[in-house]
Structure 1
Amino acid sequence: MSLSSSPRAWLERLATSGERRLLLLTGSHAWCQDRLTELLPSNTLWLGSGPAAFAPQAMDKPAHWLGQEYSHVVLNGFDGLHPDALGAVAGVVRAGGLLCLMMPPLADWPSFADPDLRRFVSTPTETVRCQGFFLARLARLLQAGSGLWRWDQASGWHTDEPWPLHLAPWSCHATLQPTDDQQAALMALRHCAAGHPHRPLLIAADRGRGKSTVLGLAAAQLLQRPGYRVLLTAPSRKATEQVFVQLRRLLPEALEQGERIELGSSQLTFYSPDALLEQQPEADLLLIDEAAAIPTPLLQDLLRHYSRVVFATTLHGYEGSGQGFALRMQPYLDRYHPGWQRCHLSQPVRWHTDDPLEPLLNRLLLLGHSEPPPVPSDDPIVWQHLSQTQLANDEALLRQLFGLLIQAHYQTTPSDLRTLLDSPDLTIHGLRQGAQWLGVALLCAEGPIEPELAQTIRRGERRPRGQLLPQTLLAHAGIQEAADFRYARIMRIAIHPTCQRQGLGQQLLTALTDDCRQQGYDLLGAAFAATPELLHFWRRAGWQPVRLGLSRDAASGSHSAVLLQPLSAAASQVLPDWRQRFQQQLPQWLGGPLRDLPPQLVLALLDQANDRRPLQPWEWQDVIDCAHGHRSLDHALPSLQRWLDCRREDWQRLPQQEQLLLVGRFWQYQSWSALGRLSQLPGQKALQQAIRSSLRKAGVPERLTEDFLSQSVPVRPADTV
């Protein structure tokens, strides 16, 4: 290990290299802070507690730094080493800069009381239950790794590189001519802007490859066309700064006003995704930067409104939603926009091709790792429980299982790697064929909750960390007895994409159900971003919906659903009542906070039968007059809503398109124009005729008779779907 020269000399040599380094400072908190204060300029990005001169910032929102650059970044690990923050800031460091990590001595890492562990437990004192495998693994890899510099309080400055630092000459491509990759992307973008509509373009790359620069270069060319309108959106305005940098450089005569750049009659305007959907301004082209960090449903809504769209996104990186773009958005493009195009940028432009920081962080956090397709085998498929100790001691096994999660789940982030290794209430289960893992499930133990605490949760006065299932049933569904049960919550369940639709998911669920029943759990549950396809998977296995979030989840852009499966006799007795409560409340929410819920999702949540008082004769007469006469559908709305609720077994036999019309109009109060877009029917008159026809096809009689009334009492639903 070289000890020659001073840290400042190494830093000065690095500044012109085009490469970046991880500088690991180990010792006391005060010593590490003092060394960095002496070494770095005050415009360094300092995350975590630090000297006031550096204007330290919190590290709890990694997406905040998308698209930004700093010469040096400090991550104060004494405040908690959050894996997502570590992965995020790797792309923020400019060529020739340092990513500085402050930590205790390496030998202390396995036992370090890391504040980041608090997110795994309800109270800070419970962190002693957490494992220390994540930091122990990092320490092992860092000791064996290359491309990093170490500065230790006890032993001084260390590096495995010789002095003077011999690095190949490098110049920043971002300010020179576009690379060949960027030239190809520019050509594809111009074609998207001028070619056939509804053929979106995807520009994909790892970070630092110049995606945002391409958007800026293309926008500068397009704005020179008279009257051309470009819209730009991203998770934040800061994420698009490189686009504006290129526009300022190439169009110095343009007028910049806040979020807009004008060149004569042409303009580029930035909108947040939500504002863009709400206002829907007209445009010739929509550019979406950092698309992977925007919820997929929002992207799909934008595609439906704008005919020419360009996505620029990171498919592999710290933002787990990048993999979600591949898993969710690309199949959507294949189905609805079969002419979509894709180009890939591989050459780094913001740092040297041989930059060691990117591969080092990839190894530490398993970024971009995906499990290859399983090789066909004649070995039997078996279910197996795995311990965190096994994963911590077997790097190949860890890579295989975490690769499965990345490959099959849209929200897997580096933080999940720490969860996998350190969470104290986690159990790991998988389906194995020989040495290959085809599927994996992560379970978290929850409940019961003490009565006094449960009451404060139900009243909205307390919300401790963890205990997701019992807490949401208490606080959101108001179910007091939910606190009394033991839950096994499925946090993740993933089957390798090449093995899906072969029954392996149901096989894994069956094995989990049997095992959790033997372990004495009362309920097996899951909370996930609801889609009709996912709900079909869970309900086919007999799981029962008991809650739906009234607002969209910020990460997924979807409403979160909670489904349960009873395991004990006590749970089997109460769960039908919990489900019935949800089924009765859902129609009321559909007219208010869930008015915009996709009708297909409504159908996937509804039971066929419902335990409600039967329709009164006058209510039946209202429905009959609508079905067989010309009674106003609006004037008879209360009776039609009651019929829709009480006679689900009748109308759920209709074709889905007709079901969507009934739900959309009677429960969600959708406008005739919205229903027309949904059904492709021309105008209000045709829609009303279709609804009346559907009522007749659903069995509404022509006249009311005593025999019919005696046979029209709804039946209480069975306990399983």
Structure 2
Amino acid sequence: MPVSPPPSAWRDRLAISGERRLLLLTGSPAWCQHRLSELLPPDTLWLGSAPAPFVPQAMDKPARWLGQEYPHVVLNGFDGLHPDALGAVSGALRAGGLLCLMMPPLTNWPSFADPDLRRFVASPEEISRCQGHFLARLARLLQAEPQLWLWDQSSGWHADEPWPLTLAPWCRVEALQPTDDQQAALTALLHCASGHAHRPLLIEADRGRGKSTVLGLAAAQLLQRPGYRILLSAPSRKAADQVFVQLHRLLPAAIEQGETIVWNSSQLAFYSPDALLEQRPEADLLLIDEAAAIPTPLLQDLLHHYSRVVFATTLHGYEGSGQGFALRMQPYLQRHYPGWQRCHLSQPVRWHAGDPLEPLLNRLLLLGHSEPDPLPSEEPIEWQRLTQAQLAEDEALLRQLFGLLIQAHYQTSPSDLRTLLDSPELTIHGLRQGRQWLGVALLCDEGPIEPELACAIRRGERRPRGQLLPQTLLAHAGIDEAAGFRFARIMRIAIHPSRQRQGLGQRLLAALTADCRQQGYDLLGASFAASPELLHFWRREGWQPVRLGLSRDAASGSHSAVLLQPLSDAARQVLPAWHQRFQQQLPHWLSGPLRVLAPPLVLALLERHSQAPALQRWEWQDVIDCAHGHRSLDHALPSLRRWLEVRRADWQTLPHLDQCLLVGRLWQYQSWSSLAPLCQRTGQKALQQAIRASLRAAGVPERLTEDFLSQSMPAHAADTV
């Protein structure tokens, strides 16, 4: 048998071919580190503990590697194999590079106490409770992978491909000239910058296709127009590096002033998404790179403000948010910007078209996988509970269910794949029709919490991992009783897009409710990014809101809502009080931390009746003077807010836009300019007149009579002046 060339020779081969490879090193941590320190140069990106002269990097926050490039990458799996990190750095590896994974021998993977599993348990000592299915599946797939390069401490180097191969030298395409895809996208971008306003452009591609380069090429041309102003945004400044690289290459004499490139009288300035929304600088064109990694509500706000916007986004990134962009942003563009355009880049420019690393990681992490539309079937639809072992051993079943999650949820990542297979508190439920899966739900077992720990959580002194529902009710809502209940939290629920609005969501919820009641749970709950549509769905099913986050979630860009459904007699007794508590607190938050919450979302949370004390005589007089006279709305604001709280049943019968105006101005005190487009009126005077008309339409009388007072408040309150 011929002797295989040394690893360094295989590394040199990659530099010629333009391919990238996964090199798996298995053995002890010290042996793996020593072998790699001999093989790789010091400018290698090394995640996890590393020997000198390498600089160790943490594996968390994978977004930091968007738009970056490294000659080689090492993941020290002994410090924890974080699936998101594995997916993220693969896109940052340039042509001819090695993605090196340090791990124990493959036979040990199912029992390996991977530190990454700490995410699923309250303390490191509980890792043994986690399943080992994720690593067992990876080991099985890698052992069957013919293009894997394996370097094992006991058995040596393994590379099954023949040596030498006849290789045509590869060169980086974008270093020579744009591909046909890039040229088409460049033409579309320049047209967007000069054509009709409010026709945004979407440039989409998998990683490594050169979409950021297109932004840089276009910016270099546009900056040669006198006085042209370009804004550039991305999840981080590093994610936009490639745009600046192109500008420096094409405009070497341009002046760089901090985050701004100046060329004669024109300029390009970088802003983070938050800074852009806060400062709203003027511009002729807004470029947003890696748009799928920015929360959709922020993108929608930017679309409203800027007349010419270009999005560049990754379709199948490590974070899974490209699918979320397609699910949430593209329908929004279709509804509100029917003239929007799309360009797709398919040809790789940063590595060889036959690169084996990208398809390998797509198989390992199910990146970009989505389930095709179910075929028509006459078979009955059945609910079934599944085990994690079933999914790990049946690749087709796993791909079906994970594909449903990707298609139906705004952000599904490789870490969710590990959660699906390894989390010790997870149960899996599905709807199937024959061999086709139409829906899936993931439930997490939470609570009860022992009294001493619950007290520390409520006081803000402890916040252990997990237990989301009881912890948020204790720490944020101050509900002591929550600690004593057992919750089943719906982590994800997904129905195939082609089968939605056919009652399958209600059917799956009904099955979950019956099963959880039989399993002895007290409450079925969910925490999700709140939207009017979702809230209407859950409330229609009888669920009650008990909590709303006071700030936007970093991932979704939305406020998280907690809704509950009682299952036990004890829960049915206390949940109405929890819900009423939230209803009483909500108006106070609306004038403070929730002041900018969208009024339609407020309406979706509100009940039509309130237990607040009735209005007093002087409060009624303030409201009447506003409705039928010209009393200043601001001077009567306390009384108007009390009227909104007490008389919900009156004004919640008004047209939706009138309700939004009352809530947005009187409770939240939003600016007239922000309310005008929402309420489809122009100018402060018109909005004030609309508020007065709404008060009259909601039954505010023209005069205050004793009969009206006696009907609208208790007798003891009617005598109060």
TM-score, normalized by the shorter chain, greater than 0.5: yes
Q: Which residue of 2 aligns with 1:214?
A: 214
Match of 2:387 in 1: 387
Q: What are the equivalent positions in structure 2 for 1:129-278 lying under 5 Å apart?
A: 129-278=129-278
2:647 counterpart residue number: 647
In the alignment, is the contact (CA less than 8 A) between 2:16 and 2:167 conserved in 1? Answer: no
Quote the residue 2:717 is aligned against: none
Confirm or deny: 8 A CA contact 2:474 2:480 kept in the other structure. yes
Partner AA of 2:369 in structure 1: H
Could you report, residue by residue, the CA deviation over 1:412-436 in whole angstroms, capped at 9, with x for unpaired residues? 1010000110111100011111111
Structure 1 contact 212–242 (Cα < 8 Å) conserved: yes
Alpha-carbon offset, residue 704 of structure 1: 2.3
Q: Which amino acid aligns with 1:391?
A: L
> Counterparts of 1:649 and 1:3 in 2: how far apart (Å)?
84
The alignment partner of 1:462 has SS state of coil
Take 2:355 and 2:410, find their aligned partners in 1: how far apart are those partners? 28
What is the CA distance between 1:225 and its match in structure 2? 1.0
Give the match's secondary structure for 2:324.
helix
Write the distance in 2 (CA, Å) between the matches of 1:151 and 1:673: 64
Please report how far the alpha carbon of residue 3 of structure 1 lies from its aligned counterpart in structure 2 after TM superposition.
4.8
Alpha-carbon separation, structure 2, partners of 1:692 and 1:273: 38
Partner of 1:582: 582
Determine helix, strand or coil for the equivalent of 1:157.
strand
107-116 or 684-693, which deviates more: 684-693
Could you report, residue by residue, the CA deviation over 1:317-350 in whole angstroms, capped at 9, with x for unpaired residues? 2122111100000000000000100010000000
Alignment match, 2:56: 56
State which drifts further: 480-489 or 672-681. 672-681
AA matched with 1:679: C
Q: Distance in 2 between matches of 1:50 and 1:478?
A: 45
Deviations 1:442-497 (A, max 9, x none): 00000000000000000000000000000000000011111000000000000111
Cα 1:462–1:82 change in 2 (3 A) is: same
Change (3 A) 1:201 1:2: farther
SS for the counterpart of 2:71 is strand
Task: Give the structure 2 partner of residue 476 of structure 1.
Answer: 476
Write the distance in 2 (CA, Å) between the matches of 1:48 and 1:692: 63
For residues 290 and 572 of structure 2, the distance between their equivalents in structure 1, rounded to whole angstroms, comes to 46
| Aligned-partner Cα distance in 2 for 1:279–1:322 | 27
Give how far 1:92 is off.
0.7
1:607 aligns with 2:607: yes
> Which one is further off, 438-447 or 630-639?
630-639
Structure 1 outlier segments of 4+, above 6 Å: none
Q: Any stretches of 5+ residues in structure 2 without a counterpart?
A: 715-721
- Residues 348-359 of structure 1: pairs in structure 2 closer than 5 A: 348-359=348-359
Aligned to 1:92: 92
TM-superposed deviation, 1:632: 1.5
Q: Which residue of 1 aligns with 2:573?
A: 573
Q: Does structure 1 residue 454 correspond to structure 2 residue 454?
A: yes
Describe how 1:29-44 pairs up with structure 2 within 5 A: 29-44=29-44
- Kindly state the Cα deviation for residue 2 of structure 1 after the two structures are TM-superposed: 7.4
The answer to whether 1:334 aligns with 2:334 is: yes
Deviation at 1:705, TM superposition (A): 2.7
Aligned residue number for residue 718 of structure 2: none
**Which residue is equivalent to 1:285?**
285
Distance in structure 2 (CA, Å) of the matches to 1:396 and 1:673: 53
Deviations 1:250-298 (A, max 9, x none): 1112111221111100111111011111111111111110000000001
Note if contact 2:320-2:367 (Cα within 8 Å) is conserved in structure 1. no
**1:605-644 C-alpha deviation (Å, 9 max, x unpaired):** 1111111111112211211111112222111111111110
Aligned equivalents of 1:478, 1:320: Cα separation in 2 = 35
SS in 1 for 2:550: strand
- Counterpart of 2:300, as a letter, is Q
Percent identity between matched residues is 82
CA distance in 1, matches of 2:59, 2:711: 63
Please state whether the residue corresponding to 1:54 is helix, strand or coil. coil
Q: What is the match of residue 344 of structure 2?
A: 344
Alignment of 1:285-684 (within 5 A): 285-684=285-684
1:708 deviates by 2.3
Corresponding residue of 2:65: 65
Amino acid paired to 1:480: D
Amino acid at match of 1:193: A
Which range is displaced more, 114-123 or 161-170? 161-170
CA distance in 1, matches of 2:572, 2:245: 61
Counterparts in 2 of 1:70 and 1:2: CA distance versus 1, 3 Å: farther
| Aligned counterparts of 2:234 and 2:39: Cα–Cα separation in 1 | 35
CA distance in 2, matches of 1:557, 1:198: 23
Structure-2 separation of matches of 1:196 and 1:481: 58
One-letter code aligned to 1:443: L
Hey, what's the Cα distance between the residues in 1 that align with 2:686 and 2:667? 20
The answer on whether the counterparts of 2:370 and 2:406 sit within 8 Å (CA) in structure 1 is yes
Between 413-422 and 675-684, report the one with greater CA deviation: 675-684
| 1:456 maps to amino acid | A
Q: Secondary structure at the match of 1:25?
A: strand
Seen in structure 2, the aligned counterparts of structure 1 residues 532 and 393 have a Cα distance that, compared at 3 Å, is same
Q: Deviations over 1:28-74 (max 9, x none)?
A: 01110111111111110000111242111101111010000000000
Instruction: Say which SS state the counterpart of residue 551 (structure 1) adopts.
Output: coil
How far did 1:311 drift? 0.6
- Give the aligned CA root-mean-square deviation in angstroms: 1.1
Which residue does 2:83 correspond to in 1?
Answer: 83
Q: Residues of 2 paired with 1:51 and 1:363: CA distance?
A: 31
Counterparts of 2:516 and 2:477, CA distance in 1: 24
Q: Is the Cα contact below 8 Å between 1:147 and 1:357 reproduced in 2?
A: no
Displacement of 1:672 in angstroms is 2.2
Q: Quick check: 255-264 or 232-241, which moved more?
A: 255-264
CA–CA distance in structure 2, aligned partners of residues 64 and 675 of structure 1: 37
| Maintained 8 Å contact 1:2/1:162 | no
Amino acid at match of 1:357: L
Task: Say which SS state the counterpart of residue 157 (structure 2) adopts.
Answer: strand
Residue 399 of structure 1: SS of its match in structure 2? Answer: helix
Partner in structure 2 of residue 717 of structure 1: none
* 1:523 aligned partner, one-letter code: L
Aligned mates of 1:387, 1:2 — CA distance in 2: 46
Q: In structure 2, what residue type is equivalent to 1:444?
A: C
- Measure, in 2, the Cα distance between the counterparts of 1:84 and 1:254: 37
- Which amino acid in 2 is paired with 1:658? D
TM superposition score normalised by structure 2 = 0.98
User: How far 1:389 moved relative to its partner?
Assistant: 1.1
Alignment of 1:81-120 (within 5 A): 81-120=81-120
CA separation of 1:317 and 1:682: change in aligned 2, threshold 3 A: closer
Aligned partners of 2:320 and 2:368 also within 8 Å: no
Higher mean C-alpha deviation, range 502-511 or range 90-99: 502-511
Instruction: For residue 675 of structure 1, report the CA deviation from its aligned partner.
Output: 2.3
Q: Which deviations, in whole Å up to 9, do the C-alpha atoms of 1:541-597 show, x marking residues without a partner?
A: 010000000000000000010000000010011111111111111110111111110
Offset at residue 713 of structure 1 (A): 4.8
For residues 167 and 80 of structure 2, what CA distance do their matches in structure 1 show?
34
Q: Which moved more, 1:139-148 or 1:353-362?
A: 139-148
| Segment drifting more, 447-456 vs 193-202 | 193-202
Decide whether the 8 Å contact of 1:3 with 1:158 is kept in 2. no
Unaligned runs of 5+ in 1: 715-721
Q: Which residue of 2 aligns with 1:123?
A: 123
Asked if the contact 1:2/1:160 (under 8 Å) is kept, the reply is: no
The alignment partner of 1:676 has SS state of: helix
With normalisation by structure 1, the TM-score equals 0.98
Report what 2:719 is aligned to: none
> Helix, strand or coil for the counterpart of 1:70?
coil
